[in-house]
Amino acid sequence: MKKILSARYVVVSILILIAIWQVLFLVSDYSEALFPSPFMAFTALLEMIASGQLLTSIITSMSRFIIGYGLSVIAAVLLGLLLGSLPEVFKYINPTLQLLRPISPTAWMPFVVLLFGIGDVPAVVIIFIAAFFPVLLSTVSSVGNIAPIYYKVADNFGVKQPLLTWKIVFPAAFPGIANAIHLALGSAWIFLVAGEMVGAQSGLGYQIIDARNNVRADILLATIFVIGIIGLALDFILGQVEKLILKSWGGGK
Amino acid sequence: MAYIHIENAGKTFLQNGQEFTALSDVNLDIERGEFICLLGPSGCGKSTLLNAIAGFDPVNKGSVSIDGNEVKNPSINNVTIFQNYGLLPWRTVLKNVELGLESKKVPKSERAEVAKKYLEMVKLSEFENSFPHQLSGGMQQRVAIARALAVEPEIIFMDEPFGALDAITRMKLQDDILDICKEEKKTIIFVTHDIEEAVYLADRIVVMTPNPGKVKGVITVPLHHFRDRTSGDFLLVRDKIFDLLNMKTEEYIEYTI
């Protein structure tokens, strides 16, 4: 398979971005404090790394992310397996899910802050919501689409609940579930930043707000860059894990 | 009473609010160790009958009993082999064969041993760590056969098991299944629409016709596991089946001018 992220393409692509940025910097009338050059942002990045501020923010954000995303995926998959096995019950729950699903997780933010105050909880909750609905709905539909022959084989070979879920239902639905878990990772990471901008006093999202308040656009842009890099890395890591596991399902089809 | 006793068995489905008869008035007795082929065109109810005896979808008229017990559910004593193999793609070949042994509470160490024995019987020992998608169709079906044999069932049901395979692979597997039968002395009920396959394999052939699905006749094959696809006896049995099925073509003649 041809790698999309082959080194040459990455370098050229990033260089083009930096070149455009530099050109805009040269032609724009904004003051340097408001619209810094790539080099100024890079200097700010080094400054943040040296002071340890960046590492602290990353650790704070990552722990919120892992807790929110992890809990969300576990809850959504378990509930999805249950509801997928009970299609009659799901018919009564689905309309509510369809009502809640299109609501942007950020819409819940003020409410969550009212209930829990500023801190870790709002960011965790928003990530939870962002990942929950896509994973839940995909799990339910993956369970519903399991080929009947697997149930027949299980029935014939005496595989009964709760082993049926563990040995047949979960693995049979896994390719669909894994795909949703992967997609949800991206949106969860996007909403982490939103959550920290509104509901927290620490982390990468807050760092952006803090930089704005101090009129440090160089720090602001450097932080945005770091957020992008981490998002890309998370996606890559999960993609590799997914590929590794799905190998046994027939080349990840 | 016979080992498998089928009396006035019938099956109706509701289809768009209308009752549809898939199977009607089947009477059949099968003895232990027999190789029975259910033969007929699509829609003749052969798979319906198989699913009823296997317990996946019991009859709603008459009765089907095995060893004196009415069939209501599938049992691990009577294993079905499907046309599309029904292997679990996320398990290795060895783990697939172990599936039934797990339910039978065979200790872990013994499971692998038993599974390996049957994989050897179907000549797939060297593929025990492969995944199903890495094997050809014929090999996958042999894994399914090993998985069925591993639980030491009394009856093996086969629902057009070689239907998806090419002609040459199919003939090889037919020989394999006859060898295994001789060795293991299982009762086998085999669904097919291939007349030659039925004559080659069966002790008795149950010829079925559609609209509604019913048994047209039962033909005993006097070839005793000594079969030659080109011998006179073979062709004679085949001819008898053509005769039985030809009754069907006469119904169509009414429509011609």
Average pLDDT over residues B190-202: 90
Angle at which helices B93-103 and B108-121 pack, to 10 degrees?
Answer: 120
Q: How far apart are CA B54 and CA B52, in angstroms?
A: 5
pLDDT > 90? residue A16: yes
Q: What pLDDT score was predicted for residue A1?
A: 44
Average pLDDT over residues B84-90: 91
Q: How far apart are CA B92 and CA B129, in angstroms?
A: 5
Cβ density class B56-82: b for 16+ within 10 Å, e for less: bebbeebebbbeeeebeebbbebbbbb
What is the overall mean pLDDT for chain B? 86
pLDDT confidence tier of residue A76, bands split at 50, 70 and 90: very high
Q: Report the 10 Å Cβ neighbour count for A148.
A: 8
- Cβ atoms of B111 and B97 within 8 Å: the answer is no
Domains of chain A: 36-249 (1.10.3720.10)
Identify from A156, A159, A253 which residue to disrupt to test chain B contact, counting B C-beta atoms within 10 A and taking the largest count. A156
Of A149, A158, A174, the CB nearest to B103: A158
Tens digit of pLDDT for each residue in A84-120? Answer: 999 999 999 999 999 999 999 989 988 999 999 888 8
Q: Report the 10 Å Cβ neighbour count for B2.
A: 15
Query: What pTM was computed for the model?
Result: 0.82
Q: How far apart are CA B204 and CA B187, in angstroms?
A: 12
Angle at which helices A53-85 and A217-246 pack, to 10 degrees?
Answer: 40
Interface pTM, i.e. ipTM? 0.85
Chain B residues touching A176 at Cβ < 8 A: none
Q: How far apart are CA B118 and CA B94, in angstroms?
A: 10
Does B53 contact A at CB distance below 8 Å?
no
Average pLDDT over residues A52-78: 95
Of A157, A158, A171, the CB nearest to B90: A171
pLDDT confidence tier of residue B251, bands split at 50, 70 and 90: low
Which A positions 144-173 lie with beta carbon below 8 A of chain B? 149-150, 152-153, 155-160, 167-168, 171-172
pLDDT confidence tier of residue A252, bands split at 50, 70 and 90: very low
Long-range contacts of A113-121 (CB under 8 A, 24+ apart): A113/A198, A113/A199, A118/A199, A118/A200, A118/A201, A119/A199, A119/A200, A119/A201, A120/A64, A120/A200, A121/A199
How do B204-209 and B214-220 pair as beta strands?
antiparallel
Tens digit of pLDDT for each residue in A197-250? Answer: 888 889 999 999 999 999 899 999 999 999 999 999 999 999 898 888 887 776
Q: What pLDDT score was predicted for residue A5?
A: 61
Q: Where are the domains of chain B?
A: 1-77+161-257, 87-152
What is the overall mean pLDDT for chain A? 90
Query: Closest Cα to residue B92, out of B143, B137, B138, B141?
Result: B143
Average pLDDT over residues B201-205: 90
pLDDT > 90? residue B105: no
What is chain B's length?
Answer: 257
Average pLDDT over residues A60-78: 96
Average pLDDT over residues B155-177: 89
Angle at which helices A217-246 and A170-199 pack, to 10 degrees?
Answer: 170
Of B80, B90, B92, the CB nearest to A156: B80
**B1-77+161-257, superfamily in CATH?**
P-loop containing nucleotide triphosphate hydrolases (3.40.50.300)
pLDDT > 60? residue B57: yes
- Cβ atoms of B61 and B12 within 8 Å: the answer is yes
- A247 vs B176: which has the higher pLDDT: B176
pLDDT > 50? residue B174: yes
